[in-house]
Amino acid sequence: MKKRRWRRAVGALVLIASGTSACQLYRLERSLGPVNSDFLSKTRYIITREERKVFLEMPDSAKPEFIDEFWKRRDPDPDTEENEFKIEYFHRIDEADKTFLSEGRPGWLTDRGRILILFGFPIDRITERMGLETDGRCREIWNYGNFPVVFDDRTCTGDFKLVTYDLTELRELNLLYMQELNRAQAEAQLTYRMDKKIFDFRARIDVKTRGSDRLEATIVVEIIHDRIWYKSEGPAFFTTLDVAAELLDERKTMVWNSQKRFDLRFDESEILSKAGTAYVMEIPVFVQGKEALGRLSPGHNTLLITVMNATGAERLTKSLVFR
C-alpha cells in the first residue's frame, strides 16, 4: 500500500487562492503578541506567502508548534540535534546589525542586511565614494563570483539602496559555488517540493437563521485536492479527513462543538480530473436557547476549526471571528 499526495502528471504545483483578504491579514498581524510578531518580522526574508497566511489565521495556542515546524522544514540535516540553517540565519541577522549601523534602523532591515542574510558576505566588497566617476554618488559593489550586487547612496549619508533587483542569476550561482549551508538557504526560498508543502484549508461560516433563541448556520471547509495525502491500493486512492469545530464566547468558554468525519475514495481518473479543484465539507451549526445565545456577543466570538488528514497525520487549526 502506498501513501502519496496526488499531483499533476507534469508535476505542476497548484496554488491555493486565498480566502482571506489582505486587509484581514494586516489586522491579524497588527494584533500579534511580541513573540509572534518578532518571529514573523525576523523571518520575512524566508517565510513564504502561504506560510505567513496560515500562521496569521491560526490561534495563538497553535503558533509555537508552527514555529517549531517552520524551522524543521528548513533543517538541512534533520538527523543532527542542531539546526544549522536556523543557527546560521540568526548569526547573519546579528552580523547585519553589527555591520550596518548608519541607516537609522536595525541593520538586518536594510537592503545590505537583506542580501547579507540571504547570501552571506560577498567574496569582494568595493566601496566608491563621491566623485566624478560615480556621478556624485556613494556606491557599494558586492561581488559573488562574477555577479555584482550594487547599492547606491545618492546623498552619501549611509542610506544604501539595492540597485540590482533581479537576483535570479545570483541565486543560480549561489547553488554552484557557495557553501553547502548557503545552498540550503537559497533552496528554502524556493517553492517546497510537494511532500514539503504546508497543509492548508479555507473556511467560512454561512448563517441561515439567527434569533434570540435559535441559531442555524453551516461551516464550509475547502481543501484543494492536491494538498491532500492519499493512500493508494491498486487503482483506488482513499483517505479520511476529520473536522472538529468549537464556538467560543468572549471568555473563551465553549458554547457549541461538533466533530465530523469525511471519507474520500477516488479512482485514478477521478483524481486527475480533480487536480486544482477543492474538496468541500459542510458542518451544520445549531445552537438553541436564550441562555446559550445570550453568551454570544457580536464581534467577540471565536470559531476554532481543526482539520486532520489521517493519512499524512497533518493537522491544522484556524481561528475565525464569529460575528
Domains annotated for the chain, with CATH where assigned, are 2-10+195-322 (2.60.40.10), 22-193 (no CATH)
Q: Is the pLDDT of residue 191 over 50?
A: no
Q: Is the pLDDT of residue 188 over 60?
A: no
Q: Per mean pLDDT, which of 2-11, 154-163, 237-246 is the most reliable?
A: 237-246
77 three-state secondary structure: coil
What pLDDT score was predicted for residue 290?
84
What pLDDT score was predicted for residue 170?
53
- Residue pair 255/292 in contact by the 8 Å Cβ criterion: yes
Residue 252 — pLDDT band, cuts 50, 70, 90?
A: confident
Out of 11-20, 24-33, 165-174, 309-318, least confident range: 11-20
- Higher-confidence residue of 31 and 21: namely 31
Q: How far apart are CA 11 and CA 143, in angstroms?
A: 35
* E strands, the chain, in order: 2-5, 124-128, 138-144, 147-153, 161-162, 202-210, 214-224, 229-233, 236-248, 254-267, 278-288, 301-309, 314-322
C-alpha cell, 125: 566588497
- Residue pair 97/106 in contact by the 8 Å Cβ criterion: yes
Q: How many CB atoms lie within 10 A of CB 126?
A: 12
What pLDDT score was predicted for residue 168?
56
What pLDDT score was predicted for residue 133?
52
Q: How far apart are CA 262 and CA 273, in angstroms?
A: 20
Q: How far apart are CA 223 and CA 203, in angstroms?
A: 9
Q: How far apart are CA 201 and CA 308, in angstroms?
A: 11
Cα atoms in the Cβ-side hemisphere of radius 13 Å centred on 231:
13
Work out whether strand 278-288 and strand 214-224 pair parallel, antiparallel, or are unpaired: antiparallel
